[in-house]
Amino acid sequence: MPLSDLGVMDENASLRLTERPDGVEIAWYETGDGPLIVLANQFFGLWYTFEDLLGNLAVDHRVVRYFLRGTGESTRAGPYDLDTDAEDLAAVIESTGQPARMM
């Protein structure tokens, strides 16, 4: 599967962008409705590894997955470090407007 095909989790997923203070836009997709679950899978491979699980969760949850800065549809600009990654994740969760469970 070409990486360009990995953007959309399903045909009902909506693309959102969260702009960071340094101008970087973090791209994220959401699908489903209910309590929020955010997939932070950076150390376990690409999101599609979890595609079936995410589909099942989206039946009764709002599921969000995002691209780290420099990957996918997010802006390709650093810095690339754990502190920045954590701040970007917090910004995505804040953009959703509800508390999240992490996966």
The low-confidence residues of the chain, meaning pLDDT below 50, are 1-7
Indicate the helix (H) or strand (E) that contains 85.
helix 82-96
pLDDT for 22 equals 97
What strands lie across the sheet with 25-31, from one edge to the other?
14-19, 25-31, 62-66, 36-39, 100-102
* Rounded Cα gap, residues 26 and 92, in angstroms: 7
pTM of the model: 0.84
**CA dihedral sign, ordered 88, 94, 96, 101:** positive
Looking at 3.40.50.1820, 3.40.50.300, 3.10.310.10, 2.40.50.140, the CATH number of the domain 3-102 comes to 3.40.50.1820
